[in-house]
Amino acid sequence: MRSKQLILTILSLYCGIASAGELLRLGYVEYPPLVYSEKENVPKGPLIDYIEKSLEAEFEIKWIDMPLGRARWAFENDVIDAFPFLMRLEEREAWIHYFERPYLTIQNIVCSRGDMKFTAENPGSLVDLMAGSTLVFPLNAGYKYPFLSDPRIEQINIHYTNYIDRSLGLLNKGRAKYVFYSSKAGLELGGKNKNLSCVDVGERVGLHFAFSKNNRLAPGVESILSRLEILRW
């Protein structure tokens, strides 16, 4: 009887451990409208939902707010296991292990009310088009585009929180003519935004899952990622 009870106890403990999943600590940076945080630094957005849905069956996910400039420090001090939002750069490969392919590619866009007569082959024409107007842009976003440094274009910089609704409000009130978005994700170009015209800016960017070197959780995460289609947003 005692041996039977012991076996049942061990099995129950094993099942409990197996169902709980291992803790996977993911660093994040706000990347509106894909990722943004509200009160208590809890990240939200379609990309957060996608990652959690893909991995939560095997891992317990913990999000840690981590500026890109501290990513290396976080890896080397075992603060995070992975950072899902990094572009692949050769200089990072000495201290980062990248998943072999991007799990997501995004296209930055600029939008306005009405038709935007813009030739994608001539990026300078967008600067000329926007000259004398006001652009809504995320605060401290870190992007580099010619229209961001042109003195003829005024900027209204607002925080990522509720960025889409707030930026659209500025357009509707006539306080700005153009607005920047990191992608079309969550923008709902149909429905209430059906009169919004958008153009692509810059090259399509791939985002990779980046792990600390020799991270023991990387094979399990990569096994899941390898079965997913590459998202295009």
Q: For 98, phi and psi rounded to 5 degrees?
A: -95, 145
Q: What is the pLDDT of residue 176?
A: 95
Distance from C-alpha of 154 to C-alpha of 99, rounded to nearest angstrom = 39
Distance from C-alpha of 10 to C-alpha of 14, rounded to nearest angstrom = 6
The continuous run of DSSP H or E covering 36 comes out as: strand 36-37
Distance from C-alpha of 228 to C-alpha of 128, rounded to nearest angstrom = 41
CB 146 within 8 A of CB 123: yes
Q: What is the pLDDT of residue 98?
A: 85
Distance from C-alpha of 139 to C-alpha of 2, rounded to nearest angstrom = 64
Cα-trace Rg, the chain: 22
Domains of the chain, CATH where assigned: 23-102+207-228 (3.40.190.10), 108-200 (3.40.190.10)
pLDDT tens sequence for the chain (233 residues): 444 444 434 333 444 343 458 999 999 887 766 787 766 778 888 888 989 999 999 999 999 988 877 888 998 899 999 998 777 777 788 888 888 888 888 888 899 987 777 655 555 678 888 999 999 998 877 677 889 999 999 999 987 767 888 898 999 899 999 999 877 766 665 556 667 888 888 778 888 889 988 899 999 999 998 888 888 87
Q: What is the pLDDT of residue 19?
A: 41
27: left (phi over 0), alpha (psi -120 to 50) or beta: beta
- Report the sign of the C-alpha dihedral through residues 37, 38, 44, 46, in that order: negative
Beta-carbon count within 10 A of 167 CB? 24
How far CA 209 is from CA of 23, 88, 199, 225, in Å, comes to 16, 9, 28, 9
Residue type, position 173, single letter: K
CB 158 within 8 A of CB 139: yes
